[in-house]
Amino acid sequence: MNSSGSTQHIDIQGMHCASCVARVEQELSSVPGVTSVAVNLIRHRATVSSLDAINATHLQSAVERAGYTALAVYTDATTRPTSGADIDRTDVALLQRSLIRAIPPTVAVMLLGMALMIPSVTAAVDAVLVDQVMAILCLPVLWAGRRFPLAAWRALRRGGTTMDTLITIGAGTAFGMSIIGTVFPHTLPHGVTHPGGYYDTTCTIITLVLVGKWLEARARSRTADALQRLLSLQPTTARIRRNGRDTEVDIRSLAENDVIVVRAGERLPVDGIVVEGHSTVDESMITGESMPIEVVAGSAVTGGTLNGNGSVLVKATAVGERTVLSGIIRAVDAAQSGKAPIQRLADRISAIFVPIVLVVAAVTAGVWLLIGGPMAVTNAVVTSISVLIIACPCALGLATPTAIVVGTGRAAALGVLFGSAEAVERLSTITTLAIDKTGTITEGRPDVATTLYADGVDSEQAITQVWAAVAAVERRAEHPIAPALVRFAEAQGAPIIDADNVRTVPGKGAVGTVAGTTVRIGSEALMADAMIVVPNTLEQAMDRVSQGGRSLALVAVDRTVVAVVGVADAIRASSLDALERIRQSVPEIVLVTGDREATANVVASHVGIQTVEAGLLPAGKLAVVERLQRRGAIVAMVGDGINDAPALAQADVGIAMGGGTDIAKATADVTLVRNDLGALADGIALSNLIMRTIRQNLLLAFIYNTLGIPIAAGVLLPFGITLNPMIAAGAMALSSVTVVTNALRLKRMPLP
């Protein structure tokens, strides 16, 4: 965004590949006054920067010149957070209708084509009538795939070729030859056509590509919802206290210094300071810290975070666009808008390959006409058609999507969901993995990690009694680590008993009465308030228990400290092996966390990570990713929380844990359904295999095409060796079969 200029946004319909993005950027850049253009395919949005605001009509005209539709031009991106998702949903519906029209006739044509390959069937039927039926069946498929020739024509007007050009040439050549062979069979030289023509090829190309486009649009529509989900975290109303009365108002009417009532279980509407009451607040969306924090008068709280069981009064210090949550929304929007999609490899190849093939076909026909002779016209027609057929880029068009479909299908079975083909390609190229700690390497919830008992508490029965008393109090307390203590007590088989007079002491712990005995669970300060002395044996061990940033809790029964408990976020059992596998492909791993440095360092040392960035807020994580990218690294970011969303959006590949927030998953390019880093190791290994298979497929396609083209052009004709269109069609089909078969190997390839 220009600091002293204007920024305008345009919602665009009709873009579906990197070439579309390039054409729109080229046209918008040519508008007088435009200083920079960034087109985001996922958001279907162009962001135009200029010194002064440009007339919306000029921008819309530029988009239309590129061949697309400008739905709206506006200045405030946050007012239209779901426009990209809306466009994708429309495209999904259109593609779905196209597939409904295309699939039934395609299946019918394929069955008829296979039947005509049986000599006895061909001899028993009227081949001309069957050809006519197949031609009619092709018409709804051609109509369903009309988007491809239209897009190819737009590219041609701009002087370029794309995958749409390949699809159009492949399907158009096959259909054109088939129609001529059906309607005017005697006008073609012998061998140019055959029963059934190439109608099955026509339908298959169009239908398979439509399926790929439909799957792609569905994935994009889910991704584009991220900002709307972020906005949904902010309440639309707030309860404001004025003159002793509580009034519900629209959140947009709030001002700084307003006093707001936040009840138990509600989200905080603003950033502020607690002025009355005490509660616990889940701030994991901001800090990534798994344990709720206790808040009392004077504590700072953040809008969008979730209040616990208490009710508090909060004095607003930041409202509207100045809140932390609004900053996260802006960061995600900026990072997504500035991320250019990767040019598809097949598009780059087609830009060179398709024009060359057309030229070779034309030159072939011209050369044979110049050579002359009684067979000049026949040779010219047969050889040029053979060149077009054998060079028909069916295998080239299938090389990428078949490997992607098979590979991502296997990935899904392994618990790895790729949002797009670009995500597969980018994941195979990463050089640095930035990884969050809480909920990623660790379980994401506090658990009892260490227990030490006082002298005399040394039998199983005595320990069980201690934990029964602890659980009785903590079940009724609002202590942040209460759930961890209760879970541990239940795991020890402690009986369920009741506690009376339970109260939470803010910032210190909980106190209650069990069977007439006072039980205290909490910090040293809680014990000091009751003038309870910690035994020397336990006091000396407390430093060891608290190592690694563990939360420390003392248990006192009837004024005697009987146990010391260390609570921590446990490391996932699979993390160590998974990170070891990841290191085989990724040279650098960086731990990026909002947690304390002591805790982060202990976790990093356990799993073998050397570089640690701790104590980071969302903007800090984003800054780390940007710094790594400026250094030249290709960065993948792994996270599970809302606090990770800006960094996930900025990273070259954003990876979300399946158990994380919807915001993280919507912002990310890859989601780990299995919710452990073993799935990430599988995903990286599989992305490498998929890209290797794609390169092999492209090479196989070129081998068939480039070796066959000279023979099809007739270079061996003087020696009596010809490649008529029938054989050329067979070679073309064989190349497609080879590419598909090679892609199917991905189902069985072992992962390193």
Catalytic residues: 436
- Residue 87: name the closest of 46, 52, 57 by CA: 46
Structure tokens at 557: 């029964």
Q: Which H or E run includes 628? A: helix 618-630
3-state secondary structure 666-717: HHCCEEECCCCHHHHHHHHHHHHHHHHHHHHHHHHHHHHHHHHHHHHCCCCH
- Residue 509: name the closest of 497, 526, 531 by CA: 526
Q: Which H or E run includes 361? A: helix 345-371
Q: Are 666 and 658 in contact (CB under 8 A)?
A: no
Q: Can you say whether the dihedral through the CA atoms of 182, 183, 185, 187 is positive or negative?
A: negative
Residue 291 to residue 254: CA distance in whole angstroms: 30
For tokens 């529509």, name the residue.
221
Q: Are 648 and 666 in contact (CB under 8 A)?
A: no
Q: Are 42 and 73 in contact (CB under 8 A)?
A: no
Residue 306 to residue 308: CA distance in whole angstroms: 6
Q: How many CB atoms lie within 10 A of CB 218?
A: 15
For tokens 């208490």, name the residue.
310
Q: Helix, strand or coil for residue 200?
A: helix
Q: What DSSP assignment string belongs to 431-467?
A: -EEEE-STTTTEEEEEEEEEEEE-TT--SHHHHHHHH
Strand partners, 517: 514
The amino acid at residue 373 is G
Q: Helix, strand or coil for residue 181?
A: helix
Structure tokens at 663: 């915001």
> Buried b / exposed e across 407-417, counting CB within 10 Å, b at 16+?
bbebbeebbbb
For the chain, the residue count is 752
Residue 603 to residue 578: CA distance in whole angstroms: 15
The amino acid at residue 260 is I
Going along 495-634, which residue ranges are E strands? 500-505, 509-514, 517-522, 551-557, 560-571, 588-592, 611-613
Q: Are 738 and 704 in contact (CB under 8 A)?
A: yes
Q: CA 508, 514, 515 angle in degrees (round to 5)?
A: 160
CA 368 centroid distance within chain: 53
Residue 553 to residue 3: CA distance in whole angstroms: 51
Contacts of 235 (CB under 8 A, 6+ apart): 251, 266, 267, 269
Contacts of 119 (CB under 8 A, 6+ apart): none
Residue 489 to residue 253: CA distance in whole angstroms: 48
Residue 445 to residue 482: CA distance in whole angstroms: 12
Q: Helix, strand or coil for residue 211?
A: helix
CA distances from 714 to 195, 360, 702, 711, 735 (A): 25, 12, 19, 5, 20
Residue 723 to residue 731: CA distance in whole angstroms: 10
Q: 271-276 and 312-318: which strand pairing?
A: antiparallel
Residue 281 to residue 296: CA distance in whole angstroms: 10
